[in-house]
């Protein structure tokens, strides 16, 4: 079947696009890995207008309720593998099937950047994690390593100082970045050992992580740890969208109407090159993209 | 008969909160185990799943790792 529109992603941008598309009575489907995207991982939110204070999970529940108020078809837990043009229409290939639509909105957001070293995939959730907020409490009394040198690494360190035995921070740069207040708090703590100019080369273990291998000043060495927290930032989830133009960071280039360089393919939210990544901006961009797609389809008819 | 449901979680994990909310919304009773406080149960969870990520749901012996809504629904028969 041929849809009017396929929305990829169900974070603030994708969900808002879905609400607008439903109100325009477009025939569409939402294909997404999860509901909420990065908002689901957020702690306290104090800058989403109308809510003086709301937690990430609560806001996601509100978003989801709002979308499901309409009879929206959501394919959750489905990964998009490829997008391509077919005549004037667009084919979206996923790990579970193939869909065809006259327009597409890519709102797939950002995902945790990976180290790309041997052992990373094998030991994911077996001592290696990308969510310190979720998993830190499981490492009490253990030696752990945090990879990264920015605010998210410092934030993970502040959580782990309270529970772990020894905290190594493996930083690829010559000195730690992030906010001075946090940095001072972390580096002043006796449990913390910062290793600058250090590159991770491998993760090793048996059933669970037992050590991390690093290279510092040309020398490789192994540090025994049971926990590894990867905090090296986020990258745009645009790998499947090879058909559209991206910038150097991999962000999809859009104009002020959320159009990509391919007619019929729109993009919104954190996956795009729109400056500032905020929940409220992503939501606004999602609505713009849906309205642009609606106009595009009206002209095409 | 109602199934026995246990949720292994940490208080800070957003997907644990969403998983528990999902169970509540569907009127499913469950036992909530905070693995950040209860180390014995944390070991039990790791032994059951061979991994350390939360949440883990034990639905009558059917183990679901993560907030995988479809698998949770299937395991619950809803």
A216: helix, strand or coil = strand
Q: Distance between CA B74 and CA A228 in Å, rounded?
A: 33
Interface test with A, best of B22, B48, B49, B53 (most A CBs within 10 A): B53
Q: A168: which strand partners? A: A145, A193
Are B19 and B55 within 8 A, CB to CB? yes
pLDDT of residue A133: 80
Contacting residues of A for B18, CB less than 8 Å apart: 36, 40, 57, 60-61
Element (H, E) at A147: strand A143-147
Distance in angstroms (rounded) separating the CA atoms of residues A108 and A148: 24
Query: Does any CB of chain A come closer than 8 Å to the CB of residue B50?
Result: yes
SS3 content of chain A, % helix, strand, coil (to 5): 25, 35, 40
Instruction: Give me the catalytic one of A27, A82, A89, A135.
Output: A135
A179 catalytic, yes or no?
A: no
CB–CB of A212/A131 below 8 Å? Answer: no
| H helices present in A90-172, as ranges | 132-135, 151-161
What SS3 state is found at A31? strand
> How buried is residue A275: exposed, middle or buried, by Cβ count under 10 Å (0-12/13-18/19+)?
exposed
Residue from the list A40, A57, A138 with its beta carbon closest to the beta carbon of B52: A138
Q: How far is residue A37's CA from residue A170's CA, in Å, rounded to a whole number?
A: 27
User: Is-contact A279 A48, C-beta < 8 A?
Assistant: yes
Query: What is the distance, to the nearest Å, from the Cα of residue A160 to the centroid of all Cα atoms in its chain?
Result: 22
Identify the residue among A40, A125, A129 best suited for mutation to test binding to B, counting B beta carbons within 10 A and taking the highest.
A125
C-beta atoms of B10 and A134 within 8 A: yes
Q: CA A119 to CA A38: how far, in whole Å?
A: 25
CATH 3.40.30.10 for domain B9-76, yes or no, is yes
3-state class of A151 per DSSP?
Answer: helix
Say which residue, B47 or B2, is predicted with more confidence: B47
Residue A281 phi, psi dihedral angles, 5° rounding: -70, -45
Nearest to B18 among A40, A42, A135 (CB): A40
The span from the CA of A123 to the CA of A112, in Å, is: 16
Domains of chain A plus CATH, in order, are 2-112+234-300 (3.50.50.60), 128-230 (3.50.50.60)
Nearest CB partner across the interface for B14, out of A41, A138, A208: A41
**Is A135 annotated in the active site?**
yes
B33 has a chain A CB within 8 A of its CB: no
A&B contacts, CB < 8 Å: 66
Contact: B10, A61; criterion CB under 8 Å = no
Catalytic residue among A134, A143, A179, A206: A134
Torsion angle defined by CA atoms of residues A176, A182, A188 and A191, in that order, rounded to the nearest 10 degrees = -90
Residue A206's alpha-carbon distances to A9, A122, B50, in angstroms, are 36, 10, 11
Per-residue pLDDT of chain A (301 residues), as tens digits, is 899 999 999 999 999 999 999 999 999 999 999 999 999 877 778 899 999 999 888 999 999 999 999 999 999 889 999 999 999 999 999 999 999 999 999 999 999 999 999 999 999 999 999 988 888 888 989 999 999 999 889 989 998 999 999 999 999 999 999 889 999 999 999 999 999 999 999 999 999 999 999 999 999 999 999 999 999 989 999 999 999 999 999 999 999 999 999 999 999 999 999 998 999 999 999 999 999 999 999 998 6
Contact call for B52 and A136, based on CB within 8 A: no
Q: Does the beta carbon of B27 lie under 8 angstroms from any beta carbon of chain A?
A: no
B34: closest chain A residue by CA: A137
Q: Is A155 considered catalytic here?
A: no
Domain ranges of chain B: 9-76
Closest CA to A245 of A271, A279, A276, A275: A271
């Amino acid at each position: 079947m041929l849809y009017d529109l396929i929305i990829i992603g169900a974070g603030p941008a994708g969900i808002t696009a879905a609400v607008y598309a439903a109100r325009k009575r477009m025939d569409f489907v939402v294909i997404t890995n999860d509901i909420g995207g990065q908002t689901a991982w957020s702690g306290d939110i104090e800058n989403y207008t109308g809510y003086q204070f709301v937690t990430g999970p609560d806001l996601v529940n509100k978003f989801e309720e709002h979308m499901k108020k309409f009879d929206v078809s959501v394919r959750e837990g489905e990964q998009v593998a490829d997008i391509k043009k077919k005549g004037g229409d667009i084919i979206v290939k996923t790990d579970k099937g193939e869909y065809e639509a006259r327009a597409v909105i890519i709102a797939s957001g950002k995902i945790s950047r990976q180290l790309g070293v041997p052992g990373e995939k094998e030991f994911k959730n077996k001592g290696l994690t990308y969510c310190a907020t979720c998993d830190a409490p499981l490492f009490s009394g253990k030696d752990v390593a945090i990879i990264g040198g920015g605010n998210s690494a410092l934030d993970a360190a502040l959580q782990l100082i309270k529970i772990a035995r020894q905290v190594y921070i493996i930083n690829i740069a010559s000195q730690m970045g992030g906010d001075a207040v946090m940095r001072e708090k972390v580096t002043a703590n006796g449990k913390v050992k910062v290793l600058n100019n250090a590159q991770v080369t491998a993760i090793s273990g048996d059933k669970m992580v037992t050590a991390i291998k690093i290279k510092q000043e040309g020398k490789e060495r192994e540090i025994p740890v049971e926990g590894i927290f990867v905090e090296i930032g986020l990258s745009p989830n645009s790998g499947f969208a090879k058909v559209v133009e991206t910038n150097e960071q991999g962000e999809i280039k859009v104009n002020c109407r959320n159009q990509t360089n391919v007619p019929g393919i729109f993009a919104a939210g954190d996956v795009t090159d729109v400056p500032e990544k905020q929940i409220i901006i992503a939501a606004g961009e999602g609505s713009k993209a849906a309205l642009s797609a609606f106009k595009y389809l009206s002209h095409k008819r | 008969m109602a199934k026995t449901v246990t949720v292994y979680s940490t208080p800070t994990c957003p997907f644990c909160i969403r998983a528990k909310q999902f169970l509540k919304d569907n009127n499913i009773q469950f036992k909530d185990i905070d693995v950040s406080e209860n180390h014995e149960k944390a070991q039990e969870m790791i032994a059951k799943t061979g991994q350390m990520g939360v949440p883990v749901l034990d639905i009558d012996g059917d183990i679901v790792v993560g907030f995988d809504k479809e698998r949770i629904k299937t395991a619950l028969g809803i």
